[in-house]
Chains A and B, each alone.
Chain A
Amino acid sequence: DTAVSQTPKYLVTQMGNDKSIKCEQNLGHDTMYWYKQDSKKFLKIMFSYNNKELIINETVPNRFSPKSPDKAHLNLHINSLELGDSAVYFCASSQGGVSYNEQFFGPGTRLTVL
């Protein structure tokens, strides 16, 4: 009955590879997000997506791309992985593009690029 789930939990890969992280929410929310948490625990918004619009943080390299097959899923695809991509990636969801609704976070995916 996990609200927001991510797979895999751990991902270890070589530089230059392409990888995907999957996210699913069963809360019926229509807005989903991807965050990157660095080694200092700072949270950075990467993408926000609902069925109407995709908002991209302009500082995110275009090697990163979100893909949403339906409202319950927002996957993160990363091309040509670099050492600096090593971090914990969190998926989150909320109900509607409404400012006062809290977000529900997944457990995170720890990505290590060697």
Chain B
Amino acid sequence: AQSVAQPEDQVNVAEGNPLTVKCTYSVSGNPYLFWYVQYPNRGLQFLLKYITGDNLVKGSYGFEAEFNKSQTSFHLKKPSALVSDSALYFCAVRDRLGSYIPTFGRGTSLIVHP
């Protein structure tokens, strides 16, 4: 079985400050991990993924995420937030030994204040 948790419904950050959106996961084997972003009235867009190798993954729009196996986490980060980063962020997980269909978290609303 696979599951993913996004413990924060909303994250507020000031423009220019670093941001973190949290994600923890649970799988039977090893995970593939994904982050997607959804802007208002739009579909989800892929940001980045962890498959294997380097624990720090870099993605679109300056975002990065760090895979931490011991803490079963895959937090999304950005060094300097922009107002335009305000959106809904989804973490997703797939168990390498399981179905190819991912499980999505409930989403975290990121609000970046000017």
Contacts and interface: CB of A to CB of B under 8 A. Distances in A.
Interface of A: 4, 31, 33, 40-43, 45, 48, 55, 90, 92, 94, 97-108
A90 B43 contact: yes
A99 B44 contact: no
B46 A43 contact: no
Contacts of B95: 99
A55 B67 CA distance: 29
Nearest to A99: B94
A102 B45 CA distance: 10
Interface residues of B, number: 25
13 contacts: A41-B107, A42-B106, A43-B104, A45-B101, A48-B101, A90-B44, A99-B32, A99-B94, A99-B98, A99-B100, A100-B94, A102-B49, A103-B44
Nearest to B102: A103
Nearest to A48: B101
Given A45-B101, A99-B32, 6 more contacts: A33-B101, A41-B107, A43-B44, A90-B44, A99-B95, A100-B49
Nearest to A41: B107
Interface of B: 32, 34, 36, 38, 41-46, 49, 51, 88, 90, 94-96, 98-102, 104, 106-107
A106 B88 CA distance: 16
Contacts of A55: 99, 101
Given A90-B43, A105-B43, A108-B42, A31 B106 contact: no
A48 B43 CA distance: 17
Contacts of A92: 43-44
Contact of B46 (A40, A45, A104, A107): A104
